[in-house]
Chain A
Amino acid sequence: MTDQVKVSAAKTAPQKKKKIASLDRKKARAGWIFVLPFVIGLVFIYLPIVWESISYSFYNYTTVDGIVNKEFVGFTHYNTALTGSAQFAQSLLTGLQEMAFDIPAILIFSLFVAVILNQKMVGRAAFRAIFFLPVVVSTGIMESIMSTSYGASGGSLELGTEASATEKLESTMALEVLLASIFEGLGFGTGLVTYISSAVASISNIINRSGVQILIFLAALQSISPAIYESCQIDGATSWETFWKITFPMVSPMILVNAVYTIIDSFTTDSNTVMKVINNMYMNPKSDGRYVSAAMGWMYFLVVLLIVGVVAGIFSAYVFYQRRD
């Protein structure tokens, strides 16, 4: 009797195992079917585009009698990009400087605003509605209009300033001088003073670019359990302590996400200094304009990727993940 049971068990065991494996395979196949649209697009459209774009930066194309001839030119286009008249290297440095300044400002600002918008108060819905307006409006059309200059005044006119360009310059200069004197009086270093005064000068830019980030931080704040705050309050923690010991660690994964998103977003918008140089190069009537612009673009992409990697590496070392068991 027992032998028979054993035999039947031995018979069914491998069958069972096989069935589980096939379910896994079935699920894997279903997964592939779900991502199929993207994979098809990737293989047939996106990767060929990437490949072509990379090859633009290494080849010269000439069309003779309807036949396209490729001529390998090595790093010539890269050389032209770096040493040519377009001042690519210089604008890259400027762009990196701008980024080093903008990204911390955007992150700090959006976290601060998200914390405030998360508190209960009168008119919270209205404020939220206003604060996310730039997400909807200030990309694409509006962005490109704002960066076009018009008429005889020259330079891009900042929206919302009623003063002429010179007046505006004077007023911001006055503000910067005032701020500098205040902060120097308080005994801060000049580095911090220039940072803060230029942050104030570009506040409108920073506000308009932090919509999505505020949204993501707000979602993160909403997901923190109120019970944690309650127990903190009972233990007598001040709100300052609560912020640094509870809120900050809990939203730190989203700080990483937002940092990466902000870097990518500010690097790839058309109003970026480097992107402007690349676009100008592309529009250049010179025959090798678009090849050089492709070379520039790929160098730029590598720089961006490197920065994203470094930032993500540094941040992820300090990110706190709550264990949910």
Chain B
Amino acid sequence: MTNHMDNKPQVMRESKNKIRVDFERTSLKERLKAKYLSSYFAKNVLWYIFRLLLLIGIAFVILKPFYTIVMRSFMEASNFVDDTVVNVPRAFSALIYKSIIVDLEYFKVFFLTLALSLGCALLQTFSCALVGYGLAKFKFRGSKAIFFLVILTLAIPHGTMQSAIFYRFQHLDIFGIFNFLAGGARTGIEGIDAILAKIKILPDTFVGGISTISSVVPILLLSITGLAFKNGLYIFLLRQFFRGVPDELEESAYLDGANTFRTFVQVILPLSVPMLITVFLFAFCWQWTDDFYLQLFFSVNPPQLMSYLPNFNLGDMTTIATIWTQETGSSGKYQQAVLYACGLMACAPLIVLYLFCQRHLVQGIERSGIVG
């Protein structure tokens, strides 16, 4: 190092306006040696290789099931009996897909699910944003209690309450008012009951509340009120985000004469688009794949939605029904492959959407300032 500093650079005049300065440098070999034979470099290379291997390994664990599902779904039924066939099909067949798309009316299912998920996700995003904003920016008595209740709705396992949820929406009522107005209220005392039965302000269908089962009303009601699947998480995320938005923005909007709601819509919402997209993506995907609430609310007469794709009726699958029954005696691998193919087809639109939007998913969370 010190060696070439002492040497004076040689200045040569090449032409009238051009000079050439030659430094005496350490030879290339020496420089390469210093760079690549150091322990620092070795450590970095080792870490790099280790990290790459680890990431590839984890990615493999995540992607392997999809690879297996895709490969098996293209196999012919005979391949499942053949022990030498593992993952690469020996005879290709797209019968399973044909069956799903034609017999189960895949595209109809797709558009129905799209409409439902889109509507619910939009409602959920908006109402969660409202609630999150209210909890983040306004101090009022009871706000902490409400925040605690939001977290509580996340923590209560919904499976616990399924019969209660079902009953509630089968007899939807506001503290018995509908029931009372339709003359359905009973006290057990005969005289009063006779009078109560004479109240006929509302038609008989309102006795015992309105049945909203087998309609989209329950899921929409839950979405509007921010009580649907995992909405507590969205409220929490949005609250954290809005807390990071400087108060000065709103103050200047108030000074300019905007009210709180207008400030929210015209100032706060536009600048929180990344976070809203993240929440919307969560809501859309989880609504799309949700099978708990949908199976609860449509337990009687299920519409054709993606979450019912794996619960298909064998009679509908005319294309593969005979193969299915023939194969029942064997290990059940064929049935499993069909089932997984159904699951994959149900999630396929989500995977495509995810590939386009995954950057937003990360960005929204990154900018949320969720810490603090």
B residues within 8 A CB of A41? 221-222, 224-227
User: Which residue of B52, B288, B361 is within 8 Å of A215 (Cβ)?
Assistant: B361
Contact with B along A105-133 (1 / 0, CB 8 A): 00000000100100101000101111111
User: Which residue of B48, B131, B355 is within 8 Å of A37 (Cβ)?
Assistant: B131
In the bound complex, do residue B310 and residue A141 qualify as a contact, i.e. CB atoms below 8 Å apart? yes
Interface-central residue, A34, A254, A298, by most chain B CB under 10 Å: A34
CB distance from B310 to the nearest CB of A (A): 5
In the bound complex, do residue A223 and residue B359 qualify as a contact, i.e. CB atoms below 8 Å apart? no
B residues within 8 A CB of A264? 154-155
Interface residues of B in 191-216 (CB under 8 A from A): none
Distance, CA A324 to CA B131, complexed state (A): 26
> Of A151-159, A179-187, A227-235, which stretch is located at the interface?
A151-159
In the bound complex, do residue B134 and residue A223 qualify as a contact, i.e. CB atoms below 8 Å apart? no
B24 at the interface (CB under 8 A from A): no
In the bound complex, do residue B167 and residue A52 qualify as a contact, i.e. CB atoms below 8 Å apart? yes
In the bound complex, do residue A208 and residue B62 qualify as a contact, i.e. CB atoms below 8 Å apart? yes
Given known A-B contacts A219-B368, A254-B371, A301-B156, A152 and B138 have beta carbons under 8 A apart: no
In the bound complex, do residue B343 and residue A34 qualify as a contact, i.e. CB atoms below 8 Å apart? no
CB distance from B56 to the nearest CB of A (A): 9
In the bound complex, do residue B330 and residue A152 qualify as a contact, i.e. CB atoms below 8 Å apart? yes
Given known A-B contacts A136-B350, A160-B64, A151 and B331 have beta carbons under 8 A apart: yes
Given known A-B contacts A28-B140, A152-B330, A279-B159, A38 and B62 have beta carbons under 8 A apart: no
A residues within 8 A CB of B222? 41, 45
Distance, CA A110 to CA B213, complexed state (A): 40
In the bound complex, do residue B140 and residue A141 qualify as a contact, i.e. CB atoms below 8 Å apart? no
Chain B's closest residue to A124 (CB) is B55
Interface-central residue, A31, A131, A270, A275, by most chain B CB under 10 Å: A31
B370 at the interface (CB under 8 A from A): yes
Given known A-B contacts A219-B368, A301-B157, A116 and B55 have beta carbons under 8 A apart: yes
User: Which residue of A52, A136, A293 is within 8 Å of B168 (Cβ)?
Assistant: A52
> Of B10-18, B29-37, B104-112, B333-341, which stretch is located at the interface?
B333-341
In the bound complex, do residue B370 and residue A34 qualify as a contact, i.e. CB atoms below 8 Å apart? no
In the bound complex, do residue B366 and residue A219 qualify as a contact, i.e. CB atoms below 8 Å apart? yes
Chain A's closest residue to B68 (CB) is A160
Distance, CA A298 to CA B159, complexed state (A): 11
A residues within 8 A CB of B225? 37-38, 40-42, 45-46
In the bound complex, do residue A159 and residue B340 qualify as a contact, i.e. CB atoms below 8 Å apart? yes
Distance, CA A134 to CA B358, complexed state (A): 12
Distance, CA A38 to CA B328, complexed state (A): 49
Given known A-B contacts A132-B362, A152-B329, A153-B331, A308 and B64 have beta carbons under 8 A apart: no
User: Which residue of B143, B146, B157, B224 is within 8 Å of A268 (Cβ)?
Assistant: B157
B contacts with A, residue count (CB < 8 A):
103
A residues within 8 A CB of B328? 151
A residues within 8 A CB of B335? 150-151
A contacts with B, residue count (CB < 8 A):
95
Chain B interface SS verdict (over half): helix
CB distance from A238 to the nearest CB of B (A): 11
In the bound complex, do residue B351 and residue A136 qualify as a contact, i.e. CB atoms below 8 Å apart? yes
CB distance from B131 to the nearest CB of A (A): 4
Contact with A along B266-309 (1 / 0, CB 8 A): 00000000000000011001101111100000000000001101
Interface residues of B in 56-84 (CB under 8 A from A): 58-59, 61-65, 67-69
B residues within 8 A CB of A192? none
A82 at the interface (CB under 8 A from B): no
In the bound complex, do residue B162 and residue A203 qualify as a contact, i.e. CB atoms below 8 Å apart? no
B127 at the interface (CB under 8 A from A): yes
In the bound complex, do residue B331 and residue A145 qualify as a contact, i.e. CB atoms below 8 Å apart? no
B347 at the interface (CB under 8 A from A): yes
In the bound complex, do residue B336 and residue A150 qualify as a contact, i.e. CB atoms below 8 Å apart? yes
Other A-B pairs beyond A264-B154, A308-B155, 4, CB < 8 Å = A37-B226, A204-B65, A254-B371, A279-B159
Can you list 22 residue pairs at the A/B interface with Cβ under 8 Å?
A28-B141, A31-B143, A35-B131, A38-B131, A41-B224, A45-B227, A46-B153, A121-B52, A130-B63, A137-B347, A141-B343, A145-B340, A145-B342, A150-B332, A151-B330, A160-B68, A251-B371, A267-B157, A290-B163, A300-B160, A301-B160, A308-B155
Binding site for A on B (CB under 8 A): 48, 51-52, 54-55, 58-59, 61-65, 67-69, 86-87, 127, 130-131, 133-135, 137-141, 143, 146, 149-150, 153-165, 167-168, 174, 186, 221-222, 224-227, 233, 235, 260-261, 264, 281-282, 285-286, 288-292, 306-307, 309-310, 328-336, 339-340, 342-343, 346-347, 350-351, 354-355, 358-359, 361-362, 365-366, 368-372
